[in-house]
Structure 1
Amino acid sequence: MPQVFDLRSSGRRTLESIVPALQIVIASSTSYAVAHYLLGHAVPLLAVTVTISSLGFVRDARPIRVLETAIGIIIGIVLSEALLLTVGQGLWQVALVLMLTLIVARALSPSNAFAVAAGVQSMLVMLLPVPAGGPFVRSIDGIIAGVVALIVTALLPRDPRRLARQDARRLFASLTEALDSLVVALERADEPSAERALERLRTTQPVIDSWAASLDSAAAIARISPFLRRRRPDLLAQTRVLRGMDLATRNLRVIARRIDFLVRDGAPRPGIASIMASLGTSVELLGQSLDDPLLADTVRVGLVAVAERLRPDTVVSGAPVTDSVVILMMRPLLVDLLTAADLPAEKARALLPEL
């Protein structure tokens, strides 16, 4: 079935690519200028192509990834040039060099794109005429590209914080929708609502992984970039929220599966629904606290109030075992949410009423 063109996704992808594209253009132009005008290399093709391959459009813009990519590709270029001097040019030589480069690239990195980039650079070495100044001129161009890519990463950094915020908003939107559906499921014994919540929660792990990757990238860049260093406290706060929400989401999936089974008896459970609604309000505010840290106090107050209610005998008089299990499962969920709201886990556990 042909894929339908999504104009909104295309527009969003284009806007997100403007800064990385600008960074790549500046870095590639600088590499070319250094190799051509400063060192006198007539056609410093690899200075440009290695820069593009090192930076790329990947979400992970960490300096260590840029360095690893540049080093790996440069190793491929040096290997190709050494083999070119040893075995010369020809069909079997091209096949040999490509095979060795791909094997070395796969040994150096698990990235498929990395191996392909290294293979492409090695073929440029093997198929293009040897430049004036000797074959290892191209290795020098590769080193220039790697150095420039790192410098540009530090001085003209991409700002993954925006991507991290987008991922965070997507996660909290999904959790809020899922919690709302669970409230409806419990209030009305509505099976479709429980199923919708469960399906929504099953889509959250890729968002969590993307958020984690964006935060790791942003934190790594902030360590070397003078322009992003002052953002480190904000990134640390987001990392704390992410850790708590990752655990909370896992717990909520388990609870949703239990509720999906529970509501099949057709009995409404307004008491549990009320607690779930309170959790939904707190989760929504917790998401907003990433932009407004002052809301964190409100979140903690709301969650503490929920903690005081998490006893089966107070939620439902003479609660059956099936209902009690759901209420007990909410206790670790609450601890995770309190941890995300910057309360130490020990204190969060201490707030739970004794059973």
Structure 2
Amino acid sequence: MSRSGLMRGLQPRESLGRVVDSIVPALQIVAAAAAAYSIAHYLVGHAVPLIALTVTISSLGFARDARPVRVLESAIGIVIGIALSELLLLLIGRGVWQIALVLLVTLLVARLLSPSNAFVVAAGVQSILVMLLPAPAGGPFVRSIDGIIGGVVALIVTAVLPRDPRRLARRDAVRLFGALNESLDSLVAALERADEPAAEHALERLRSTQPIIDQWRSSLDSAVAISRISPFLRRHGPELDAQRRVLVGMDFATRNLRVISRRIDFLVRDGVARPALASLVASLATSVRLLGQSLDDPRLADTVRVGLVAVAERLRPELVAKGAPMTESVVVLMLRPLLVDLLTAADLPEEKARAVLPEV
């Protein structure tokens, strides 16, 4: 890591946040590693079950995606790499070219099994350990047995002592709604005062939201998957399903809002204030803010739907942009699919959401 990259990583607030977020995953990894060592050493009788611990740690890791299927895929891939390395070690022995060949084969097989760079590197490290460390007592494939123990323990711990990614998913949702609220407020200011910098700020802010959406999707998928196998988190299934519905709707809504923002950015360059359009966007902003709050208080969803239906009744170009150039009417028409996406996120079926739009 470069000096500048290291210093960016040592920002006090961000560093402390990473530590706090890592407490539960770290405890989970420590518990799993201790269990894997105990089983391999005391129960199976392996003197130094190094591979059991390394497979456990590599399978769990600190990745945002803590789904059991990811843990299982990692464990299986790494164990395959270990078994393959042990087989090649028996066939071709030790040496520089043998190490190079085994590492190459392991990396390519791991790449075949997974697109994850971290997974491929972990499998390669395991193969090098097999090639360089003295063979353990017990004959061939002892390390493969340790690898299986580590993988099974990692999977069991994922279910019995799960991380709770709901907080991470909720934080991602807050970040997205924060960005959307800020962008909508800037669009309102841009339309009210023909403020070009405000319009540009909204556009830039919206362009930065896709990584947030992707992170929210990843953490939410992880939370849903864990809730399905963990007896401790299963009761949160309906809450997570509702959050997934909001995520899908807001993903589409954000994409539409980017297009609308580009149009407004172009529109306000003529220096003309558009208070009617600003009022319409402000009403949408209020509903979006309430929709974000509904993740904590589902009762607000009714208020969101009522507010959005009221906005729908105003989505007629002749009401908002009467006598104005076609460019303003286009903005009003572009708000219609955005409104459908928001209503869908607020738990109104898409057919009914489209039905509330007035004819044009």
CA distance in 2 between partners of 1:261 and 1:316 (Å): 16
Q: 137-146 or 314-323, which moves further after superposition?
A: 314-323
1:299 aligns with 2:304: yes
Q: Deviations over 1:126-169 (max 9, x none)?
A: 10000010131110000000110010000000111111000000
Q: Deviations over 1:162-190 (max 9, x none)?
A: 11000000000000000000000000000
CA distance in 2 between partners of 1:320 and 1:91 (Å): 75
Partner of 1:196: 201
Equivalence map 1:1-355=2 (5 Å): 2-3=4-5, 4=8, 5-355=10-360
CA distance in 1 between partners of 2:308 and 2:325 (Å): 25
CA distance in 2 between partners of 1:258 and 1:317 (Å): 18
SS at match of 2:66: coil
Cα distance, 1:318 vs. partner?
A: 1.6
Please list every run of 5 or more consecutive structure 1 residues that lacks an aligned counterpart in the other structure: none
SS at match of 1:267: coil
**One-letter amino acid of the structure 2 residue matched with residue 233 of structure 1:** P
Please list every run of 5 or more consecutive structure 2 residues that lacks an aligned counterpart in the other structure: none
- Partners of 1:222 and 1:228 within 8 A in 2: yes
Cα distance, 1:279 vs. partner?
A: 0.5
SS at match of 2:324: coil
Cα distance, 1:71 vs. partner?
A: 0.4
**One-letter amino acid of the structure 2 residue matched with residue 291 of structure 1:** D
CA distance in 2 between partners of 1:134 and 1:291 (Å): 57
CA distance in 1 between partners of 2:146 and 2:51 (Å): 6
CA distance in 2 between partners of 1:348 and 1:64 (Å): 36
Q: Deviations over 1:65-90 (max 9, x none)?
A: 00000000000000010111111111
Q: Deviations over 1:165-223 (max 9, x none)?
A: 00000000000000000000000000000000000001100000000001111111111
Q: CA RMSD in A?
A: 0.8
- Partners of 1:312 and 1:319 within 8 A in 2: no
CA distance in 2 between partners of 1:92 and 1:249 (Å): 53
Q: 62-71 or 312-321, which moves further after superposition?
A: 312-321
The percent of aligned pairs where both chains have the same amino acid is 75
CA distance in 1 between partners of 2:60 and 2:236 (Å): 22
CA distance in 1 between partners of 2:228 and 2:139 (Å): 39
Cα distance, 1:6 vs. partner?
A: 1.4
Equivalences, count = 355
TM-score normalised by length of structure 2: 0.98
CA distance in 2 between partners of 1:149 and 1:2 (Å): 35
SS at match of 2:217: helix
- Partners of 1:184 and 1:273 within 8 A in 2: yes
CA distance in 1 between partners of 2:12 and 2:134 (Å): 44
Cα distance, 1:316 vs. partner?
A: 2.6
TM-score normalised by length of structure 1: 0.99
SS at match of 2:137: coil
CA distance in 2 between partners of 1:30 and 1:135 (Å): 23
Cα distance, 1:319 vs. partner?
A: 2.8
SS at match of 1:2: helix
- Partners of 1:72 and 1:118 within 8 A in 2: yes
Q: Deviations over 1:35-77 (max 9, x none)?
A: 0000110000000000000000000001110000000000000
CA distance in 1 between partners of 2:337 and 2:112 (Å): 42
**One-letter amino acid of the structure 2 residue matched with residue 103 of structure 1:** L
